[in-house]
Chain A
Amino acid sequence: MIEVKNISKSFAGNAVLKNITTEFYPGKVNFIIGRSGSGKSVLTKCIVGLMEVDHGEIFFDKRNFTILDRWDRKDIRQEMGMLFQGSALFSSLTVEENILFPLQMFSSMSKSEMLDRVNTCLKRVNLEGKNHLYPSELSGGMQKRTGIARAIALNPRYLFCDEPNSGLDPQTAIVIDNLIREITYEFNSTTVVISHDMNSVLETGDHINFIYQGELTWRGNKTEILHTDNEALNNFVFPSKFMQQIREKLKG
């Protein structure tokens, strides 16, 4: 479980995160949603340690991440996997080399064991046989799946996905959503997903955090979101008349 306690973060006096406290649960797909500029990416960067918080603490299964220096954070970081918005695959490496990368750096496996692991990960994301292609030769959806394969190579306890569906067509987005959900349940990982895609949120959101102007204003699950009276959340999730009609139908 990841616990975030009273986190604040400012840039040049401008408060981006205001005293945020929440938990992300293992074996569940935990969403962070909010409008652009609401602070959700900053929150995620603070959680994974790419940014330092001004105040507050972050615990990874009771281990206080905020008080550790970069060398001591290494152990926790090796338990993290992250899927980036743009996939962040190493462009000079093939699909196979991308997935081998964390294994070569941190595992004590033999070369054949590593290759087995790569093939298992590729099979898991339905990319068998694509080992020797470069990221530039893959479609957006395939790049995302390769990113997921790389993220799960070391069996992460914590999986972070930054807008996994951005730039994908609706059908491919569903494939990625299902993959994230299946992996979460399979590995019992604590999965944190930042998303704008309301279809994903309503389909796979086991636990949802809504951030509005740097504050966490609502927490709940995909059923509770239909009945909320939080105006900012309703405007965000059901912005059009069409979406509001869908909500009424779903409620019914």
Chain B
Amino acid sequence: MSTVYYNIGKYFLLMVNTFTKPEKRRVYPKLIVQEIDKIGLQSLGIVALLSLFMGAVVTLQTASNIDSGWIPRWTIGFTTRQTMILEFSSTIVCLILSGKVGGNIASEIGTMRITEQIDAMEIMGINSASYLILPKIVAALFIFPFMVILSMFIGISAGAFVGYTAGVTSLNDFEYGLQYSFELWQVSYSLIKTVFFSFIITSVSSYHGYYTHGGPREVGASSTRAVVYSMVLILIANYILTQLLLL
């Protein structure tokens, strides 16, 4: 148990270092833009692909489960919307990004640690935590919500297209379902969750990378730990935020 407290304390100390006294502020915008490209734009493909197929599958599964004539066909559009907005586009996409982005961050920083690049920064007098981690966190907080909105759009569009082409719903029914009892707050709820998740992914992965010791095998282990811890924390945060924001 003391190891858990030790790691929590170490994580918070790293975050304090990350958010205090950034080096020469004018170098940060460039770093943030680079990180937006690296952890955001380069993940667009996988997010789009997942959302496309997930929206399509949710539509078909909902249609296949409606075997009562009493349940209207617009339920398909309604269910697809709710699934994509409330859970898939925020939670599931972030879980997947924790694998791609989190693993990437942990291995990048971990490699810098074992090859003494972080020591080189420290000896120059640079706050390495701030220089390496802060741009990643800021970039993720900025770009992930856009990716989640894109995921919602692609998933719902794919659902409408597949529902129509498979003949399980008409576009009018699907559209009616999309608009039925829609509350904008649900999108806000999803985006709030995304902001928390993006912080978890970048900070937890950075933590595991930053404190890597040893060689390439330990970098791999750090990367795995980063993904596992990020995923578990996202699931816990998802439950807590849902309880706080929706009920």
Contact = CB atoms under 8 A, between A and B. Distances in A.
Given A77-B124, A78-B124, A106-B124, A88 B24 contact: no
A82 B123 CA distance: 7
A84 B116 contact: yes
Contacts of A82: 120, 123
Contacts of A160: 123
B126 interface: yes
Contacts of A101: 124
B124 A88 contact: no
A105 B24 contact: yes
Interface string A191-234: 00000000000000000000000000000000000000000000
A88 B113 CA distance: 10
Contacts of A50: 119, 122-123
Contact of B126 (A49, A71, A86, A105): A105
B69 interface: no
Interface in B84-137: 111-112, 115-117, 119-120, 122-127
Interface residues of A, number: 25
Given A105-B23, A105-B24, A90 B125 contact: no
A18 interface: no
A86 B124 contact: no
Contacts of B127: 70
B120 A88 contact: yes
B10 to A, nearest CB: 15
Nearest to B23: A105
A55 interface: no
Interface in A40-94: 48-50, 70-71, 73-75, 77-78, 80, 82, 84-86, 88-91
B125 A88 contact: no
B123 A105 contact: no
A200 to B, nearest CB: 20
Given A71-B21, A90-B117, A91-B115, A48 B27 contact: no
Contacts of B23: 105
Nearest to B108: A92
A104 B122 contact: no
A71 B23 CA distance: 11
Contact of B123 (A77, A89, A91, A106): A77
A181 to B, nearest CB: 21
Contacts of A70: 127
Contacts of B125: 73-75, 77-78, 80, 106
A140 interface: no
Nearest to A89: B117
A218 to B, nearest CB: 28
Interface of A: 48-50, 70-71, 73-75, 77-78, 80, 82, 84-86, 88-91, 101-102, 104-106, 160
Interface of B: 21, 23-24, 27, 111-112, 115-117, 119-120, 122-127
Given A82-B123, A86-B116, A88-B119, 20 more contacts: A48-B123, A49-B122, A50-B119, A50-B122, A71-B21, A74-B125, A77-B125, A78-B124, A82-B120, A86-B115, A88-B116, A88-B117, A88-B120, A89-B117, A90-B112, A91-B115, A105-B23, A105-B27, A106-B124, A106-B125
12 contacts: A48-B123, A49-B122, A50-B122, A50-B123, A77-B123, A88-B116, A89-B117, A90-B112, A101-B124, A102-B124, A105-B126, A106-B125
